[in-house]
Structure 1
Amino acid sequence: MRSHHETSGRDLTAVVEKAIEAYNAQDFDAYQEFFAPDLRFVHHNRGFGFTDRDAFIQTLKGFAADLIPDRRLRPATRIFQAGNLVVREQEWGGTAVADVPGIAAAGETFTLEFCTVYRFGPDDKVVEYHEYG
């Protein structure tokens, strides 16, 4: 039996990069498949989080449709794997079509720097997703 720290031995950085591709393409059906149903998501600097994958995905869909349709995660500045953790530094940005408090005013283009920590479960699904920035 594996401990909670072990994974299948896969390159989990490649899994994260595939998830980023789905996110940027707004393919939310594909994107949700990277996460466990009981995903714990916390955006530490923005004061919100979820303990349910479906609620997380619904929020992202609304954000993309109503606030920042062209939002994208840029290529990784740095990415590495340590056991079942992947850490990815990147920029995230786009153009706000409506005011997004703390991020941008309507019509404003912005770029933010984020550091993301993903913890994978034994089935190589993300069980924790921590966003900083």
Structure 2
Amino acid sequence: MPSCRNCGTDLGQSDNFCSNCATPQNDEASRRLDEYIDRRARQIGGGVGSGSSDGTLRSRLQYALGYLGVVAGLATLTDVAGVFFLLAGIFVLPPVQAAIESRLGRPIGVRPTAATTTVLFVAGAAAFAIV
């Protein structure tokens, strides 16, 4: 009786995947799994435009900046600045961008996204400094 290449669980002769850890047990199963993952990634990441989460450096930076804005917004939420930081952080996140773009039916673009986010962050910083 064969055992799993990854976890050692006993497998049936015709098992292509481990019933315990789901590791492919032969080259054909690995190929089919890779094709399935690629197909699903294209379906999920194939948004209208730039807002799709495609793993690019731009998308990763948008997530980092978005989370930074959300954290800054939550940290200063009792101040007026928190609202601006929170809005900027939420607006720049790729899933939010994809939702806005799907509503508009067209991509927003890099410059309008950067401009809006910058204006919100600057307004938040100014409100934080003033108040």
TM-score normalised according to structure 2 size:
0.25
Q: Which has the higher contact order (CA 8 A, sep 6+)?
A: 1
From the CA coordinates, give the structure whose radius of gyration is larger.
2
TM-score normalised according to structure 1 size:
0.25
| Larger relative helix fraction | 2
